[in-house]
Amino acid sequence: MRFDLVVIGASRGGLAACRTLLSGVPRDFPAPVVLVQHRLEDEDSPLAALLQQDCALPVVEPRDKEALLPGKVFLAPPGYHLLVDGPCFALSVDEPVHYSRPSIDVLFESAAASHGEAVLALLLTGDSVDGTAGLATVKQHGGFTVVQDPATAEAPAMPESGVAAGVADQVLKLDEMARTFRSWGSGGT
């Protein structure tokens, strides 16, 4: 399978889950990886540095209009929604969605509208229902959706919501997702 854009959404329990997942992303991963982790609005948040520890690619918070290119993991900054707008990112301070800004739905829906069937969306652990509507939109536009196996999630409600809504093309454990990522680098098969 070949995707031009990987979008990931996580809430409670997401730090550990994302670290496991990102540890599988090889340096020559062919698509940009974009991550919304629910977070408080805190200027001095260490989240990017924490995610960096197990990740071969630089983890950055994109600026407005930054180009969407492979070779980096883009983390939604605190207090902003992160959207994909064609070849670049857009930020917004629109109202929170499901009490969250950044919101997973906002990222997923913009990615689907802009990149259609080239989108791979992954929904991980959390207590929210954010992300389910976004997965539905990704599917509608021909993209592929993966939900973390709720039994393996620290907070199962969010992945369960995705599974219950019937918008998961696949339900996987984190290490299975990480293994798939690894195989997309040139070192893989």
Residue 176 in the binding site for another protein (CB under 8 A): no
Residue 142 in the binding site for another protein (CB under 8 A): no
Shortest spacing between CB 16 and another protein, in angstroms: 26
183's CB contacts (< 8 A; 6+ apart) are 189
Read off the tokens for 91.
């930020």
Residue 71 in the binding site for another protein (CB under 8 A): no
Distance CA(152)–CA(148), nearest Å, equals: 7
Residue 92 in the binding site for another protein (CB under 8 A): yes
Q: Which of 151, 112, 154 is nearest to 131 (CA)?
A: 112
In the annotation, is 130 catalytic? yes
Count helices and strands in the chain by DSSP H and E runs: 6, 9
What's the distance, Cα to Cα, between the start and end of the chain in Å?
A: 12
Q: Which of 127, 122, 167, 181 is nearest to 148 (CA)?
A: 122
Burial (CB count <10 Å: 0-12, 13-18, 19+), residue 77: buried
Shortest spacing between CB 110 and another protein, in angstroms: 5
Shortest spacing between CB 96 and another protein, in angstroms: 9
Read off the tokens for 179.
């293994």
Nearer Cβ to another protein, position 137 or 148?
Answer: 137
Span of 5-13, 28-36, 62-70, 176-184 interacting with another protein by CB under 8 A: 62-70
Nearer Cβ to another protein, position 26 or 116?
Answer: 116
Q: Which of 64, 69, 140, 187 lies at the binding interface for another protein (CB under 8 A)? A: 64
Residue 114 in the binding site for another protein (CB under 8 A): yes
Residues near another protein (CB under 8 A) are 43-44, 61-65, 77, 79-81, 83-86, 90-95, 106, 109-110, 113-114
